[in-house]
A and B are shown apart, each in its own frame.
Chain A
Amino acid sequence: MTHRTTWIWALLILATVLSWELGHGPGFGSHPERATVAVMLIAYLKVRFVFLDFMELRAAPLPLRLTFEAWAALVCGAVIALYWSGLARYPASL
């Protein structure tokens, strides 16, 4: 097994622990929106590593790679945008 994919695996585990801490721990304290955006961006980066290095799309024909890159960016962007649109409805106690 090449060292590169092992390092990426370790990085992905680390990112999982970090996002778990952000979601489950105090995160950014009184700023839940920052924790949410951070969690989504970390998920996006993890997904990108899985696409490019595990699925080997880095070396795949460009149209296929771009399809996956666009999908990940679109999902992450849309979720953050929809989340932001709902912030006004957040209960005051948070």
Chain B
Amino acid sequence: MTHLPGEPGVWVFIVGDLLMFALFFGAFAHYRAQDPALYLQSQATLNQGLGAINTVLLLTSSWFVVGAVQDTRGQRAGRAGTRIILAFLCGAGFIAVKFFEYREKISAGINLTSNDFYMYYYMLTGIHLLHVVIGMGVLIFLWRLLRQSALRDSTVSHESVIGHLESGASFWHLVDMLWIFLFALLYLMK
């Protein structure tokens, strides 16, 4: 028995995004191999602890979203809504950590044009951050939907709520997954 989570169309966007990020990762690895000394030296100035905290935040938010999908299937819209709020707060935490991380770099005089490593660092984390913000918008949409559903609003059917939740969850997991590779590439590779 196979089951396609969410509506088919959302996978067009997700696979398209995968293509774009494969190019980003490939370009980074390619240019890094040309000048490893520069990349290693610059990478040493990054705060790996903050990168790890952000990984934990996104993994945890994904776990809440998984729980929310399961709750929705089990007709527990109220609990699902709470889990979506917790996932949203993890996303907000991610943005807060990123804000301090960027501020630390900028006050040290490091910006987009300092060197190639920092160009990728700001570009890739920036484009990913845009995904986090869009994803948090999606979470708000899901939360409102769940509230309508919990209030037994007859304009939303149970099937459509599950469908929207699966679509939105898939996008949120994409955001989480992309960060796992980014964390390894930018912060950890030696």
B176: chain A residues within 8 A (beta carbon)? 50, 54
Which residue of B2, B37, B65, B188 has the most chain A CB atoms within 10 A of its CB atom? B188
Interface size on A, residues (CB 8 A): 53
* Docked CA distance A40–B187 (Å): 12
Least distance between B49 CB and chain A CB atoms (Å): 7
A56: chain B residues within 8 A (beta carbon)? 3, 5, 166
Interface residues of chain B: helix, strand, loop or mixed (majority):
helix
User: In the complex, which residues 34-68 of chain B have their Cβ closer than 8 Å to any Cβ of chain A?
Assistant: 34-37, 40, 48-49, 51-52, 55-56, 59-60, 62-63, 65-67
- Whether the pair A54, B188 counts as a contact (CB closer than 8 A) is no
* Docked CA distance A74–B5 (Å): 24
The count of A-to-B residue pairs whose CB atoms sit within 8 angstroms is: 146
- Whether the pair B189, A40 counts as a contact (CB closer than 8 A) is yes
Other-chain contact of A55, B22, B40, B173, B187 (Cβ < 8 Å) = B173
Per-residue interface assignment for chain A, residues 23 to 53, with 1 indicating a CB less than 8 Å from any chain B CB and 0 otherwise: 1100100001101100110110011001101
If A43-B183, A59-B3, A64-B11 touch, does A85 touch B59 (CB 8 Å cutoff)?
Answer: no
* Docked CA distance A42–B52 (Å): 14
- Whether the pair A2, B59 counts as a contact (CB closer than 8 A) is no
If A71-B22, A82-B33 touch, does A23 touch B60 (CB 8 Å cutoff)?
Answer: no
A22: chain B residues within 8 A (beta carbon)? 188
B22: chain A residues within 8 A (beta carbon)? 71, 74-75
Asked if B137 is at the interface of the complex by the 8 Å CB criterion, the answer is no
B181: chain A residues within 8 A (beta carbon)? 43, 47, 75
* Docked CA distance A67–B22 (Å): 13
B32: chain A residues within 8 A (beta carbon)? 82-83, 86
A74: chain B residues within 8 A (beta carbon)? 22
Asked if B18 is at the interface of the complex by the 8 Å CB criterion, the answer is yes
Asked if B150 is at the interface of the complex by the 8 Å CB criterion, the answer is no
B1: chain A residues within 8 A (beta carbon)? 59
* Docked CA distance A53–B63 (Å): 10
- Whether the pair B180, A43 counts as a contact (CB closer than 8 A) is yes
The interface of chain A, by Cβ under 8 A from chain B, is 1-2, 5-6, 9, 12-13, 16-17, 19-20, 22-24, 27, 32-33, 35-36, 39-40, 42-43, 46-47, 50-51, 53-57, 59-62, 64, 67-68, 71, 74-75, 78-79, 82-83, 85-87, 89-91, 94
